[in-house]
A = this chain, B = another copy of it.
């Protein structure tokens, strides 16, 4: 068993520490955030920090790194009010990762990958046609994390598109049916398969599986 204390962490090289801290907290969601500038240039960027904020009203959140450098996604959704969240699956993972390359502001990552922009139900922001699960969001708010200048962005979920085969009778979405990817740190990608789904836990009752009953 290796042990890193906070003193040990301070002494690591910044790359080693970034890899360790980004990956040790577990698998993360892997999504492409798409926006469009007022000049009509699309931006596509991979995010691994999308979390559930609430279901009524439906909201999600993600962490944005400090605004000390140009952040096209941020300036686009602040101006337009809209962004989309597009799930990464196994056949688009290489192009999804490539969106993290630093292109100039006037270059759309759609033009540098095989990913295709598509517009649904008159929504201002583009979706990724190849993503099986697509979510259209309206920017709601941001909270600055004073410890390091990161922002927590809150978005309202306005549209969800997903294949009928993924959704169970009770609304639960079985992500492995469409090859959804999960990420490890900033550059690792893993493919999960479902092993179980459990009923609501009650004190002193044995955990029940309800994979077949959903």
Residues on A facing B (Cβ under 8 Å): 1-6, 9, 12, 14-31, 48-61, 63, 85, 87, 90, 93-95, 97-103, 107, 112, 120-121, 133, 135, 140-141, 143, 145-148, 150, 152, 154, 156-164, 167-168, 170-176, 180-182, 184-185, 187-205, 207
Chain B residues contacting A52 (CB-CB under 8 Å) are 21-22, 25, 28, 48-49, 63
A59 to B25, CA, bound (A): 10
A132: min CB distance to chain B, Å:
9
A121: min CB distance to chain B, Å:
7
Chain B residues contacting A145 (CB-CB under 8 Å) are 53, 61, 141, 143, 152, 154
Chain B residues contacting A201 (CB-CB under 8 Å) are 97-101
How many monomers of this protein are in the complex?
A: 2
Chain B residues contacting A14 (CB-CB under 8 Å) are 55-56
Chain B residues contacting A202 (CB-CB under 8 Å) are 101-102
Chain B residues contacting A9 (CB-CB under 8 Å) are 58, 157, 160
Q: Tell me if B93 and A23 are in contact (CB < 8 A).
A: no
A54, A103, A141, A171, most chain B CB atoms within 10 A: A171
Q: Tell me if B184 and A23 are in contact (CB < 8 A).
A: no
Q: Which of B20, B146, B182 contacts A27 (CB 8 A)?
A: B182
